[in-house]
Amino acid sequence: MNFDKPEYREMFWHTASHILAQAVTELFPEAKLAIGPAIAAGFYYDFDVPEPFTPEDLKRIEKQMFKIVNKNLPLEHETWSREKALDFFKQNNQPYKIELIENLDDEQLSIYKQADFIDLCKGPHLPSTGAVKAVKLLSIAGAYWRGDENNQMLQRIYGTAFPDKQSLKAELTRLEEAKKRDHRKLGVELELFSFHDEIGPGLAVWHPKGAVIRNEIENFWRNEHYNSGYDLVYSPHIGKGELWKTSGHLDFYRDSMYPAMEIDEHEYFVKPMNCPFHILIYKSKLRSYRELPIRWAELGTVYRYERSGALHGLLRVRGFTQDDAHIICSPDQMESEIDRVLDFCLEMLKVFGFEDLHIYVSTRPEGKCVGEPERWESAQKALQKVVESKNIPFEIDEGGGAFYGPKIDIKIKDVLQREWQCSTIQFDFNLPERFGMTFIGEDGKEHQPYVIHRALLGAIERFFAVLLENCAGNFPLWLAPEQIRIVPIKDTHIEYGKEILKKLKNRNLRASIDETSRPMGAKIRQSRLEKIPYSVIIGDNEAENSCVAVKLQNGKQFQDIDLSDFITRVCEERDTRSLKSLWLDNTNA
């Protein structure tokens, strides 16, 4: 079997989770079993045990897993009656399995056995435990049963497994690199953002350095949107309950909305989305076909309730800013607008270094959907035709669309080959109907426009986190909070350093001078720790000859560089939004 195939990999890791569960029950007979699925890069299993697992326990469990692997136990599939399964798990005091069975409608249940270990599981699994040659248990975490904080806190053991030791070693190296790049760790070290209990979970505050980067991203976003034929709009953070009832959010999305507040005898809700506000701007006057297409964009901050266990740094938060836009067009403009926005999306991502993309076209789901079948069909065809024309690999996600329209999802890959959901281009047949959106056509009659939601970067917070991890904090010059650190060798060189600083600031470069009494080596190390792209070192030679010595983040150093030439080249690197140092490209070390 081919481990590179997703379906085999999932079966492999699912089998490893059963080996883990067997090992735990052999070492901790009192353990209650919950669930143990395969996940993106391995597996986990949840256990209810009297005392939390320790790192020493993990070592013992891992050793026991290898014993099970070496026994090469067959995994046998059986079908049990509901009554037999309930009786077995009651006798073995497994309440979580009993609850799972009681919530199933099936009278015949799938069971997997390996030696004396028996588990409720749909499978599939490998034929035997012997194929799982290399295993590593990675961590322990708390997890509420069924993700509900009102339920019992369980112990979750994460692990990964591979068919050979070399593959496992490569994966562990990748995971170590991922730890170094963890945006939560880098965010603290580089003083970019933080979370505080006093504010509440999932609500970030941005420090000055993080705000500089965010501001650069947002200014770039605004300029590109103006240049691409969009108008920017703003909307309030709250709206009356009647608005959210009309939009359908109170019917379909209320569990993710924050509780209502009462103002002037009306219920108001903090907005989870920007869409209804943009629709009301459209409806503020009668619209003609001559005005279409309309493209309105907003960096709108929204608030959505996420369970505390799902929160994860900036990747999953409760308050975030979406680079939202709505395109309102006539049916004959639909395909060209999709083509235009997809090109725009790909160009935006390219600027930040994301060109390894995976695209999905999601089609009409089963069940009740909003919108006429003909509109769904034409929208789906337009999405697929445009993606095909770009010669980019894509997949059809049959039935993966929302109930209100088909969509394109774009996932980006970072340097560690992890995929991140980023951009979405989504048709909406719901809001035009609910709000009675129309335009007057050439025939003088009312027609319903197409509405296309789109987010290019997605949530700014999430995009920032992915970008931070992708570059490991070494932002390209145009984004770096501090671009240049001037390092005088002695106090006598500070005056020349101040002259340089003034010239840099006159060119709108973000720079500072280290006037501390620390040795030069310590100053340069500090600059590198703060991941400042350029350290400009000045001594007697530089002061006398109006030149500088330049040290890059990667350790490369250049001597006797004319100050004017240095500033010109750095400005070029900034203004072209180069992802790498033009200085290194154009100067011999």
Residue 493 known to be catalytic: no
Contact 15, 21 (CB under 8 A): no
Cα 435 → chain centroid: 32
User: Which of the following is catalytic: 9, 304, 318, 531?
Assistant: 304
156 tagged catalytic: no
- Residue 275: active-site member: yes
Residue of 114, 155, 322, 380 marked active site: 322
Q: Determine whether 368 is exposed, middle or buried from the number of CB atoms within 10 Å of its CB (0-12, 13-18, 19+).
A: exposed
- Strand pairing category for 357-362 and 394-397: parallel
The catalytic position among 326, 454, 523, 574 is 326
491 contact partners, CB below 8 Å, separation of at least 6 = 517
Strand order, beta sheet including 108-114: 76-81, 108-114, 117-120
Residue given tokens 């281009």 in the structure block? 425
Choosing from 323, 324, 428, 514, the catalytic residue is 324
Instruction: Classify 167 as helix, strand or coil.
Output: helix
Is beta strand 511-513 parallel, antiparallel or unpaired with respect to 484-488? parallel
Q: Using CA atoms, how far apart are residues 90 and 87, in angstroms rounded to an integer?
A: 5
Q: Which of the residues 181, 214, 249, 453 is marked catalytic?
A: 453
- From the list 18, 136, 364, 407, the catalytic residue is 407
Catalytic residue among 275, 369, 422, 471: 275
H or E element: which one contains 463?
helix 460-471
Q: Which of 194, 472, 143 is nearest to 314 (CA)?
A: 194
List CB contacts of 311: < 8 A, sequence separation 6 or more: 201, 202, 317, 318
Q: Residues of 468-495 as b/e, b for ≥16 C-beta within 10 angstroms?
A: bbbbbbebbbbbbbbbbbbbbbeeebbe
DSSP string for residues in 394-420: EEEETT-SBTTB-EEEEEEE-TT--EE
User: What is the per-residue DSSP string for 75-125?
Assistant: -EEEEEEHHHHHHHHHHTT-HHHHHHHHT---SEEEEEEETTEEEE-----
For residue 249, indicate whether it is catalytic: no
- Rounded CA-CA distance 334/327 in Å is 9
Structure tokens at 444: 């003088």
Tell how strand 534-538 and strand 484-488 pair up. Answer: parallel
**Catalytic residue status for 339:** no
CB 465 within 8 A of CB 183: yes
Residues 397, 361 contacting (CB under 8 angstroms): yes
Give how far the C-alpha of residue 91 lies from the chain's centroid of Cα atoms, to the nearest Å: 44
| Catalytic annotation present for 304 | yes
CA-based radius of gyration for the chain: 29
Both tokens assigned to 339: 């083509």
Please say if 183 is a catalytic residue: no
Task: Count the alpha carbons within 13 Å of 262 in the hemisphere toward its beta carbon.
Answer: 1
CA distance 505 to 289: 49
Catalytic residues, which ones? 275, 304, 322, 324, 326, 407, 453
